[in-house]
């Protein structure tokens, strides 16, 4: 109890001091002072050195989204876990460590927290880790329980460890959709939809109780493509055959302890302290229990990937060149309107805000090319068109635009990419979903059940077409279907023109169907396979800049975000794991509420992925 009180009081003291600091910043001119503090602290940190014979530790639970790390959305308690580490920062740090004489090896540390990077971003990281391995420096990987996504990166290690009481999951991928039509009917909530696209199944969870044949077909193909990509990434460094993994997935699913070693997926069965002993040998630290304090023996000379990313250099950003390539991040569902600034990390693509950013970049004479990094399942059709218009104006100004696709660039996410000069995607990128839908709920039956009624007046027959108090009439649905048909036709126009494909072929591969990036390449939806840096190099080539350019990332973090991020970056940052049934339920509810908030198109027209895919 005394320990509890001590830590509680320490936490409260830190919180009070931080609030006092915020008050001081506000009274003295917060933004300016925060900027000054950021500059001074960053300057002090730029001279940081890495101890000789250190191990670079990549905790696989570290969040690695597309965009650079921003401050936590919370103000208090922000040091409990590291802030997100941008994909380029993570990749550059691993690549830099390969040639850094102070880095002796790489440790891939698994945990019981979810994998922090999506599959497409993992492919960028996979390539960087392979490059590190080519340097000849050792890579060690350890976990109590390896998941397939963790093991995809861990399989590159020279030595893969597994706890004696641990297991390795190898049971394939599973995609599941929750269907709510029956529940909505029982509640008295009416659902009406208009859509175009045989495979545009985003509305099906609200109208069906099972998968439609079209949905089952496209989802099966997608997970099969992703499963084959995972298999290929695992078997090559381990000198195995894909059929071996498939057999394990079909007959065993989980390999326990020594069984994983027998199947050659694991090299050593060991406890974590034994792995630490092996790491101390690499760092040339003594393991003599007689002369070394027990506290030192339980650790090793190390630097986290988050911390190392701060001290490593980004040559493309630091180049002294007048010409600029703008890297613009478009990450999250697409919504209509503007985004709020605040302290939190931006998790949506606000149409007006992104359009304004692109407009400023177009008007910047020093910017000669743009890379638009898209990681979005789509959303508002209106907002997507607002964004695409600015992309086209950039191209009309003579500046090439290259789209780099992340984990997903589908539906509205693909709409904003259609006219790019080049589209670069990872094989595992989820793309396509060229279709449109609108979804209308009404509360009439629910109101009747609980004694709630609606009444009103109007000046025209269709004045209440968007009312939620009653179902739409056949005439109203016909009008709304016409709007969906018009947007779908415009979508096909943009794909036909932008990708230079025959209309008949566009109509065939559209229909709301989703594809992997690998298949998208064969269909002409994607021009090249590769990661973010490849897209940047492509933009420099199209703009004929040679090496006379530097990179500038947008949106740039505010002084507040950079200020708070400095406090989140701790020397030994370790991601916290959320476990258990309560945490899982909370995650699902939070996701559903967040999803509902993104449906704000003024005409109720959406271009969105059929569902939010989470592979297990």
CB burial of 497-527 (b: ≥16 within 10 Å; e: otherwise) equals: ebbebeeeebeebbbbbbbbbbbbbebbbbb
Active site residue 505: no
Q: Which residue has the tokens 């605040």?
A: 342
Report yes or no: 375 and 409 within 8 Å, Cβ to Cβ: yes
- Residue among 155, 304, 380, 411 flagged as catalytic: 411
Active site residue 469: no
CA distances from 11 to 69, 73, 142, 571 (A): 24, 18, 32, 18
Q: Which residue has the tokens 């986290």?
A: 304
Alpha-carbon distance of 54 to 305, in angstroms, equals 12
> In 3D, which of 575, 552, 560, 559 has the Cα closest to residue 83?
575
Report yes or no: 58 and 280 within 8 Å, Cβ to Cβ: no
Beta-ladder partners of 379 = 334, 607
Alpha-carbon distance of 123 to 103, in angstroms, equals 23
- Residue among 109, 137, 200, 368 flagged as catalytic: 200
CA distances from 199 to 181, 348, 483, 610 (A): 18, 25, 19, 8
At 375, give phi and psi (nearest 5°): -135, 85
Report yes or no: 461 and 170 within 8 Å, Cβ to Cβ: no
> In 3D, which of 507, 541, 547, 544 has the Cα closest to residue 523?
507
> In 3D, which of 531, 511, 533, 532 has the Cα closest to residue 523?
511
Alpha-carbon distance of 515 to 244, in angstroms, equals 26
Sign of the Cα pseudo-torsion (399, 400, 404, 410, in order): positive
- Going by the DSSP 8-state scheme, the letter that residue 281 receives in this structure is H
CB burial of 413-445 (b: ≥16 within 10 Å; e: otherwise) equals: bbbbbbbbbbbbbbbbbbbbbbbbbbbbebbbe
Tokens of 396: 């009309």
Going by their DSSP bridges, the two strands 436-442 and 190-196 should be labelled as antiparallel
Beta-ladder partners of 436 = 196
Tokens of 419: 């006219």
Tokens of 159: 């030595």
Alpha-carbon distance of 519 to 163, in angstroms, equals 38
In three-state secondary structure terms, 336 is coil
Between vectors from CA 283 to CA 281 and to CA 289, what angle results, nearest 5°?
A: 50
Cis peptide bond upstream of 96, omega within 30: no
The residues carrying an active-site annotation are 200, 411
């Amino acid at each position: 109890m005394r320990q509890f009180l001590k830590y509680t009081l320490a936490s409260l003291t830190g919180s009070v001091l931080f609030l006092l600091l915020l008050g001081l910043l506000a009274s003295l001119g917060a933004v300016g002072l925060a900027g000054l503090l950021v500059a001074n602290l960053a300057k002090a940190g730029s001279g940081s050195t890495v101890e000789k014979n250190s191990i670079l530790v990549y905790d696989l639970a570290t969040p690695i989204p597309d965009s650079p790390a921003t401050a936590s959305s919370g103000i208090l308690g922000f040091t409990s876990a590291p802030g997100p580490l941008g994909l380029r920062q993570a990749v550059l740090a691993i690549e830099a460590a390969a040639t850094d004489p102070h880095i002796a090896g790489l440790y891939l540390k698994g945990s019981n927290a979810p994998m922090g990077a999506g599959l497409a971003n993992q492919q960028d990281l996979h390539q960087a880790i392979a490059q590190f391995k080519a340097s000849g420096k050792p890579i060690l990987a350890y976990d109590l329980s390896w998941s397939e996504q963790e093991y995809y990166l861990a399989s590159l290690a020279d030595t893969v460890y597994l706890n004696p009481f641990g297991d390795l999951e190898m049971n394939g991928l599973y995609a599941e959709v929750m269907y709510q039509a029956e529940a909505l009917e029982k509640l008295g909530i009416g659902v009406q939809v208009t859509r175009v696209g045989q495979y545009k199944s985003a509305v099906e969870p609200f109208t069906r109780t099972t998968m439609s044949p079209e949905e089952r077909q496209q989802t099966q193909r997608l997970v099969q493509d992703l499963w084959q990509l995972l298999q290929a990434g695992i078997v090559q460094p381990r000198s195995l055959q894909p059929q071996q993994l498939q057999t394990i997935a079909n007959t065993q699913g989980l390999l326990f302890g020594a069984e994983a070693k027998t199947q050659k997926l694991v090299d050593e069965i060991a406890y974590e302290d034994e792995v630490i002993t092996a790491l101390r040998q690499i760092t040339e630290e003594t393991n003599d229990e007689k002369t070394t304090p027990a506290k030192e023996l339980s650790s090793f000379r190390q630097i986290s990937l988050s911390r190392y990313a701060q001290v490593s250099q980004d040559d493309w950003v630091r180049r002294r060149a007048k010409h600029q390539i703008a890297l613009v991040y478009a990450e999250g569902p697409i919504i209509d309107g503007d985004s709020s600034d605040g302290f939190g990390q931006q998790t949506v693509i606000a149409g007006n805000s992104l359009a304004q950013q692109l407009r400023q970049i177009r008007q910047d004479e020093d910017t000669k090319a743009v890379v638009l990094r898209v990681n979005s399942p789509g959303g508002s059709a209106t907002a997507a068109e607002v964004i695409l218009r600015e992309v086209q104006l950039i191209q009309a100004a003579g500046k090439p635009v290259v789209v780099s696709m992340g984990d997903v660039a589908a539906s509205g996410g693909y709409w904003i990419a259609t006219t790019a000069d080049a589209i670069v995607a990872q094989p595992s990128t989820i793309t396509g979903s060229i279709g449109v839908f609108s979804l209308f709920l009404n509360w009439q039956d629910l109101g009747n059940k609980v004694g709630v009624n609606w009444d009103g007046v109007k000046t025209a027959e269709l004045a209440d077409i968007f009312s939620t108090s009653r179902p739409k009439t056949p005439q109203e649905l016909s009008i709304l279907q016409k709007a969906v048909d018009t947007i779908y036709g415009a979508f096909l126009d943009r794909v036909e023109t932008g990708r230079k494909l025959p209309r008949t072929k566009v109509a065939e591969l559209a229909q709301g169907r989703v594809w992997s990036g690998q298949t998208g390449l064969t269909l002409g939806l994607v021009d090249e396979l590769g990661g973010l840096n490849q897209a940047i190099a492509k933009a420099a080539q199209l703009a004929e800049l040679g090496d006379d350019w530097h990179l500038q990332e947008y949106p740039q973090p505010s002084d507040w975000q950079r200020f708070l991020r400095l406090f989140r970056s701790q020397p030994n940052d370790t991601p916290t794991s959320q476990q258990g049934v309560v945490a899982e339920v909370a995650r699902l509810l939070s996701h559903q509420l967040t999803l509902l908030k993104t449906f704000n198109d003024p005409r109720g027209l959406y271009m969105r992925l059929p569902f939010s895919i989470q592979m297990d």
